[in-house]
Structure 1
Amino acid sequence: MIEFWLSAGLLLLAALGFLLIPVLRGRKVQAAEDRTALNVTLYQERLQELENQRQTGTLSEEQWQNGRDEAARELLADTDGAESTARVGVLGSKVPLTAALLMPLLGYGLYLYWGAIDDVERARTFVEQPQTIEAMTARLEAAVKADPKSVEGWYFLGRTYMAQERAADAAGAFERAVALAGRKPELLGQWAQALYFSGDKQWTEQLQALADEALQADPAEVTSLGLLGIAAYEEGRFEEAIGFWERLVAVLPEQDPSRQAIQGGIARARERLAVPTDTTPAAAATGQLRVKVDLAAALKDKVQPSDSVFVFARAASGTPMPLAVKRLTVADLPTEVSLSDSDAMMPQLKISGFAQVQLVARISRSGNASAGEWIGRSQPLPSSTTEAQHLTIDTADGQAQ
């Protein structure tokens, strides 16, 4: 911004210089006019002197006439070019001076109307690549604030919110994108998915309507197919889940990294169809971890009872996405929670599907599960562990390793 105004100031000074040249010339014109007036006065005095000499008989008629002619020639020689300069003088004094005074105001007004310094600043900001997802989120939030009609800005902001597990915020962003771009299938699918996860994975008539509308417009809309499969699996409708996921696999490119996870979900759904539901304690313990969560005494004065606490399990290696999540508040601590396959965020990503997992508890005043103020982590442990694990939140989030 500073560089812009310095450049604009230099250009303005150059423009004023051209406009003020006639004003400076006007001073020379005034001096020429004063000299001309003096010459005329001297000419008149010379004529009067010649007339007096003729009347007294000092000059003959011929001498008197020669003297008048000589005085006239001298006057013409002294005033040669002064008239043309004087004619320019009126234009070169008042008009350029007025234009010079009005030029800054006129330029500033035109810039306010047509200028694009905000776009220049945004372009400069977007040249640098963000180092964290939080930086990307802040950049996208600034972009949609500066340009609320940017469909791409709202869409990518929604995707970024989903990556941060901020499904409610993502639903709002996708809703804005739909309002701006129309009811495009891919936007409807993303909107429905965000609503599903922000609503604690409860299927509603609104979600069904959005998914149906998206698939009616595009039968191969991948987000809607995946979401319908997830909802069917969670409700025990395994045949329907298999059908939706098989349609999804059929339209995904061969190199798509999500194909393997979806095919794993299809395999598990088929297993559930083939194996009767087992309600014995041993079966219930499969893919289930018990976690006792506590807060370090040194931190009790640094948090508020309403601060969010996220307790989750994630794979010790591989995908960083949480496998199961529970949300509490600081006021609930200490407490014991159970994380199981039924808490999975995605049916193809379950605790029982990984050999080792890590337990994490995070305090986030903003309600952001991916970043907060304080954190506690366990060492990797087998996903089949049955004894309760103890997890203490005792480390600043940015210092945790």
Structure 2
Amino acid sequence: MFWFGLLLMSVLAVLLIGWPWLGRRFIRPVDGKQLNVALTRQRLDELHREVNEGLIESQDLHKAEQELKLALAMEQGQDARIVSGSSRWVLLAGLSLALMVSAYSYWHANELDALHDWQAANAQLADLGRRVVVEADPSVTVEELQRFALALRTKLHADPQAPEGWLLLGRLYASLNRLDSAIEAYEKSLSQAPDRSGTLLSLSQALVMIGSEESLTRAKQLLTKLQLQEPDNQSSLGLLAITATQLGDQPLALKSWTALKSLLPVEDPMQASIQQRIDELSGVQGTSLKIKVGISEALRAHLPNDGYLIVFARSQDSNMKMPAAVIRQPLTSLPLEIELSDANAMLPNYNLSSLQQAQVVARISQDADVQSAPGELQGEINLALSKGQMLQIEITIDKELN
């Protein structure tokens, strides 16, 4: 805006200054002074002719000449005043216009508000740093994070040799979803401290969020380097597994998921989803059941207005009554179809694929609790399962629990 305003004012100034010469060049006006002089000379010649012809007396010639000369002088003086007045108004109009354009350009280009924000950010740097970094204050607003990032960027401009500062700035930008700026800050931190694990991981996370093939390839390189430094780093291992999966690098993805599974505790809820990823990459399909649930006509009138449909599978030939897979959903019209699979497991290592003899139960309950209660409606079926099998079955809810 500033440069546009400056250019506009320069053009206007050139036009205002050069207008008289441009007018003389393209518009050739009649010279009023020369016309008046010519008319006066013509009238004097006519007076002399009239004297010679005897139309007027000689003594009146002198008086008439004086009157013509006086009239000529008065007209020329009036024209000069008109020209002078017109020029003055043109200059005043041009000056006013230039001032208005200058004021408008300055008002929109001065960025005084941004300057005030920058000054306030610098003054609050220490306090914001304490709240954001030390205390991790959850009440910090987005505006305060932006102000902190601005002040930190200013400090790093004055003292750029600070890898910790660039890392912190990158994380601030990432929290503000400014991924390009975050990556730039991480790269500067990494150039000063190439082996810092926090920078390698943070930069990889930002690159994975970008999601392009180029950024994923760069993230894969960084995470591979980090794994060589810290083989038991679960965060980097999980991110490497995700990155390799997105790039289609099946051997690296399978290796990374398997290593991550071995590092996690057996009871960790992530075990089931990781095993599912491993099975998908290995070409092993999990067990799934497509179940059509219906109700007998005798019990249809007993359906509650508000209730839940609970469908689960558990072991048939053991004392383990905990469901291996369960689905709960608000009750709708029956019959309906649902799919029960390993993804519905409640424990990492206990799912449909781990069952050989299963009991599949469909129950209508007043709440979402799997435990049975009197008055609930239920149907069940027993069947044999094989790992990776996909079966279609039907269950009819045909009894009321006591």
User: Would the TM-score normalized by the shorter structure come out above 0.5?
Assistant: no
TM-score by length of 1: 0.32
Structure of higher CA gyration radius: 2
TM-score by length of 2: 0.32
